[in-house]
Amino acid sequence: MKISTMLMYDGNPRTAADQVVELERAGLDTVWVAEAYGFDSPTLMGYLAAKTETVEIGSAIMNIYSRTPGALLQTAAGLDNVSGGRAILGLGASGPQVIEGFHGVPYAKPIARTREIIEIIRAGMKREPLTADGEFQLPLDKEHGAVTGLGKPLKLLTKPERDTVPIYVAALGPKNVELAAEIADGLLPHLYYPERIGDVMGAPIKAGTEKRDPSLGGLNIVAGGMLAIGEGPETKALLDFARPIFALYIGGMGAKGKNFYNDLACAYGYEKEATEIQELYLSGKKKEAEALVPLEWLEAANFVGPKSYIAERVAAFEETGVTSLNVTPVAMDGNNAGVIAQLKEIVG
């Protein structure tokens, strides 16, 4: 199994990039750069490419609405070049709150758009002309008033580092998970609960895999949570630091009826808790919402405890098909690189 982490920064990504260099030396395989509605991920990924040597650098995620398919292709090819072939393109539909509330773009047809964009990027990386016969590739984008006859299809002007770049898809809903299992190199699920994930994603993954092109190889799955290794109650207490993130996603990432993470909580069997968390969070009672996040979910989704317990949780993730543990290291003494090194020993 690979070990990956999200680029964690509190307003200063340059400092975070320096920390990634230390994690790379400790055995980190991949760093993921989020975007949401903060700094854009390609800028930070390019900066990381210049600071690191071996670690893979992935976007997790760039949304499929705010950039044209051609622009996403240019970004993938450019990042793969400056990183020397270490780029991973993590894509996702994001959600209506970010797409419409920040980018001002209609949130529509996420499944069809994801499929077409992946097809365009893969063709473009091989320097094939970008044909204009799709629903979302100009000049046939009727929804946005584009006109036909703008010129013949063009191919990428520069030669990419590789003729393909791994494409991962962030997915939670059944249709999106099935699509990822069918056409993506990897799947990026969030708030992963190994013991219950089969009931939620088992059938969609199976359905998608049955249609999968064998040339893609097996589906990679990236999942994980907080990583804190140690004995005693003070280590276990660190789980409470994960509560705000869980509450944010379950309660605040979208309005009622439009929150995919709330739907996930319900699918895991926490419908009562999910409803109450959302009610509290949307009414401004965040602390009360955080207190209702089920402890058993926090324990299952994170790696917090003695080394022997961490090994058990790693095995549980691996049994469900996870190929890369995406962890947020938390060290009592501030030595996060040391925590990554310990996990490397466990993973082998």
The reported pLDDT for the residue numbered 261 is 95
Q: pLDDT, tens digit, for every residue of 249-303? A: 999 988 898 899 999 999 999 999 999 999 999 999 999 999 999 999 999 999 9
- CB-based contact 35:61 (threshold 8 Å): yes
What is the three-class DSSP state of 87?
Answer: strand
pTM of the model: 0.93
Q: In sequence order, which ranges of the chain are alpha helices (DSSP H)? A: 13-26, 41-51, 69-82, 96-101, 110-125, 174-183, 194-210, 233-236, 243-247, 260-267, 271-282, 286-291, 295-301, 307-319, 336-347
Record the tokens describing residue 197, joined without a space. 């994930």
End-to-end CA gap in the chain: 8
Q: Of 43, 56, 36, which is closest to residue 245 (Cα–Cα)?
A: 36
Q: pLDDT, tens digit, for every residue of 23-69? A: 999 999 999 999 989 899 999 999 999 999 999 999 999 999 999 99
Q: Which residues of 272-285 are buried (b: 16+ CB within 10 A; e: fewer)?
A: ebbbbbbebbbeee
Q: Which amino acid is at 92?
A: G
CATH topology of domain 2-228+305-347: TIM Barrel (3.20.20)
Mean pLDDT of 61-79: 96
Distance CA 108, CA 115 (A): 13
- Label residue 155 left, alpha or beta by phi (over 0 means left) and psi (-120 to 50 means alpha): beta
- CB-based contact 58:33 (threshold 8 Å): yes
Q: For residue 1, what is the DSSP state?
A: -
Mean pLDDT of 173-195: 97
Nearest 5°: phi and psi at 220? Answer: -85, 140
Q: Where are the domains of the chain?
A: 2-228+305-347, 231-304
